Amino acid sequence: MGSGKSTIGRLMAGRLGWAFVDLDHLIEERTGYSVAALFDKGEAVFRAAEADALAATTTRARIVVATGGGTLVQPGAMDRAKAAGTVCYLRISPVTLASRLKGDASRPLLYGARGRPLYGAALQARINALLNERRSLYEQADLIVDAEDTPASVAEVLLAALSK
């Protein structure tokens, strides 16, 4: 979350001449609910919709998919994605993530106990906890690219790595 998956994914798809799918948008289209509204029904409800959307994308060819930050952490999801194509982890520092995500009300996992977006040390602590939980799975990706640079530069690095 906040690593630039959607922006870089669109750039990659354009340069490859492939389709682009933002999984969160696909979930919203398929369910008729926003990501936040699905989370209000429970994270399990959202994760089930997310798994269905991921399954729908893995049957397609010539597609770049920007997943949510927790998509591939779900049981079997990483294997499913890797069987369908190349999985890329856009690695970015927790400090940069906190800077990008502060006050973002569209990220339910970054809400505090009162249902409001986290800020400051609380936001940094939540981001650190999520990364610590997910890092070992993220690092199972086929390609790991540092994504601190501009989206265009990161896309060029990915394209070069994919062409090898």
CA geometry: angle 58, 154, 100, nearest 5 deg: 90
Cβ(84)–Cβ(58) below 8 Å:
yes
Q: With a cut of 70, say whether residue 103 has pLDDT above it.
A: no
The predicted model scores a pTM of: 0.87
- Say yes or no: domain 5-159 is CATH 3.40.630.30: no
SS3 33: coil
* Selection from 27, 26, 20 nearest residue 6 by Cα: 20
Q: Which residue shows structure tokens 């609380």?
A: 122
Give the model's pLDDT for residue 116. Answer: 75
Burial class (CB in 10 A: 0-12, 13-18, 19+), 49: buried
C-alpha 42, offset from chain centre: 19
Q: Extract the tokens encoding 63.
A: 């597609």
Give the model's pLDDT for residue 104. Answer: 60
The chain-wide mean pLDDT, for the chain, equals 90
C-alpha 90, offset from chain centre: 9
pLDDT tens digits along 116-154: 777 888 888 888 998 999 999 999 999 999 999 999 999
Strand 19-22 relative to strand 63-66: parallel, antiparallel, unpaired?
A: parallel
**What are residue 6's phi and psi, to 5 degrees?**
-70, -45
Q: With a cut of 70, say whether residue 106 has pLDDT above it.
A: no
